[in-house]
């Protein structure tokens, strides 16, 4: 099965150039992995994204592992460091979305000091916060204990609880030695979790909402939005065969990332694909996943806004398949705009509105080539690590 990716939606196929200031003001999503519906493949890492939307330079991660940071191409203009991740958001408890947490924590929390005289703060603050559905606290705690993992710094796990979920206890006898007491965040009567955490953005606070989406097992989608102007909103969904339950939180989104694990590919594009559209739809539903038409239809329903462009490449059959996925989603979106199929190490920035109108040519927004896995960089731009 071709390993399809999430879908982000954009305006056209031309490049957009942004100055360094405009890039600093943009809300940016970095795709570290785009494998949906299973573990990593030869060409794709497990599903993982990093959101860069804070004034402080801290990063928010949607799942991910330390190794995915290490796989970034060497000439990436904005090199992401796992040590800058301050919060993780987990969509659901399937293996390909959570097995990397233990190694990630071991890396960013460092090994404990061997100095017997080291001073431990009386009221330590968490180095990293993890948010996720019921059960994520017990998973993180149990794997760290079972692997005999000790760390120098602290972490905390907050659970987003629905009306049927029982809280996971945070008593000293069951907690990990580096764990702090987390919050039990209960949903409101309409089933959503609004403004449960926030950070300082360039134009004011960036808050996070969450809501349920339908998958084989309980799954969440996350919304990252500005409370003040320009009120940009990023909608990042987990695995789903039906995201309709979260629609009220997604209206007028600036960016939508929606999976498309299955797709009907005509034989003239790739003769290896033999399945009918009906078979593809049936398999996707049985496995709890979506097809491109569903992603496009969801974008139409929520009134997705215009976004900035990405380059297109026509190098091999695999890329032609991606173009067909884009076509199917674009047709269902029916907005006069185009969809783009994401690939590993692609970078999507949502500039402030002024940046869209007054884009300069000081720095090119660059993307990975889906056929080669490389990043194409405008050599006039200045590299900066983040």
Instruction: State which H helix or E strand residue 354 sits in.
Output: helix 353-357
Cα–Cα distances (Å) from 59 to 199, 284, 307, in that order, read 10, 32, 22
DSSP character at residue 142: H
- The answer to the question of residue 386 being in a domain is no
Instruction: State which H helix or E strand residue 324 sits in.
Output: helix 317-333
- The answer to the question of residue 109 being in a domain is yes
Point out which residues pair with 236 in neighbouring strands: 222, 257
Q: Quick one: tokens of 358?
A: 């007054």
For the chain, give the mean pLDDT. 81
- The answer to the question of residue 1 being in a domain is no
pLDDT at 187: 97
Q: Are strands 6-10 and 338-341 parallel, antiparallel or unpaired?
A: antiparallel
CATH number for 39: 3.60.15.10
CB neighbour list of residue 364: distance below 8 Å, 6 or more residues apart = 15, 17, 377, 378, 380, 381
Domain count, the chain: 1
- The answer to the question of residue 120 being in a domain is no
Name the residue range of residue 158's domain.
6-114+125-381
> Is-cis flag, bond preceding 359, omega within 30?
no
- The answer to the question of residue 323 being in a domain is yes
- The answer to the question of residue 209 being in a domain is yes
- The answer to the question of residue 119 being in a domain is no
Point out which residues pair with 129 in neighbouring strands: 87, 156
DSSP secondary structure, 265-304, as one string: --TTT-TT----HHHHHHHHHHHT---HHHHHHHHHHHTP
**Token pair 């992401």: residue:** 80
Identify the CA nearest to 288 among candidates 1, 94, 90, 46: 94
Burial of 274 (0-12, 13-18, 19+ CB in 10 A): exposed
- The answer to the question of residue 244 being in a domain is yes
pLDDT at 199: 96
Mean pLDDT per segment of 10 residues, for the chain of length 386 residues?
A: 38 50 86 76 80 92 77 78 93 88 91 79 87 97 95 96 95 95 97 97 96 95 94 92 96 91 88 88 92 92 59 53 89 88 85 60 40 34 42
């Amino acid at each position: 099965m071709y390993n399809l990716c999430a879908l982000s939606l954009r305006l056209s196929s031309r490049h957009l150039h942004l100055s360094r200031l405009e890039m600093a003001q943009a809300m940016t999503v970095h795709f570290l992995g785009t494998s949906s519906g299973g573990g990593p493949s030869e060409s794709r890492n497990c599903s993982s994204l990093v959101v860069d939307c804070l004034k402080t330079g801290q990063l928010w991660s949607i799942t991910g592992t330390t190794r995915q940071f290490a796989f970034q191409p060497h000439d990436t203009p904005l090199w992401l460091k796992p040590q800058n991740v301050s919060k993780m958001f987990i969509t659901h408890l399937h293996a390909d979305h959570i097995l990397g947490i233990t190694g990630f924590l071991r890396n960013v929390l460092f090994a404990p000091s061997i100095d017997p005289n080291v001073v431990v703060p009386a009221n330590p603050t968490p180095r990293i916060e993890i948010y996720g559905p019921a059960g994520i606290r017990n998973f993180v705690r149990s794997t760290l204990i079972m692997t005999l993992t000790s760390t120098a710094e602290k972490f905390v796990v907050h659970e987003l609880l629905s009306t049927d979920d029982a809280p996971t206890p945070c008593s000293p006898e069951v907690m990990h030695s580096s764990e702090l007491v987390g919050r039990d965040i209960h949903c409101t009567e309409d089933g959503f979790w609004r403004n449960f955490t926030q950070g300082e953005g360039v134009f004011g606070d960036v808050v996070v909402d969450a809501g349920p989406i339908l998958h084989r097992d309980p799954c969440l989608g996350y919304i990252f939005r500005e409370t003040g102007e320009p009120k940009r909103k990023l909608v990042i969904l987990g695995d789903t065969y039906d995201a309709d339950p979260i629609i009220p939180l997604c209206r007028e989104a600036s960016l939508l990332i929606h999976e498309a694990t299955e797709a009907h590919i005509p034989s003239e594009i790739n003769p290896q694909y033999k399945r009918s559209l009906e078979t593809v739809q049936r398999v996707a539903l049985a496995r709890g996943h979506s097809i491109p038409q569903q992603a496009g239809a969801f974008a139409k329903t929520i009134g997705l806004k215009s976004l900035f462009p990405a380059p297109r490449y026509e190098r091999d059959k695999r890329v032609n398949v991606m173009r067909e996925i884009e076509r199917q989603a674009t047709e269902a979106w029916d907005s006069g705009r185009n969809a783009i199929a994401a690939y590993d190490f692609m970078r999507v920035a949502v500039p402030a509105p002024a940046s869209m109108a007054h884009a300069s040519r000081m720095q090119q927004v660059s993307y990975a080539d889906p056929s080669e896995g490389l990043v194409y960089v405008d050599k006039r731009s200045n590299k900066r690590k983040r």
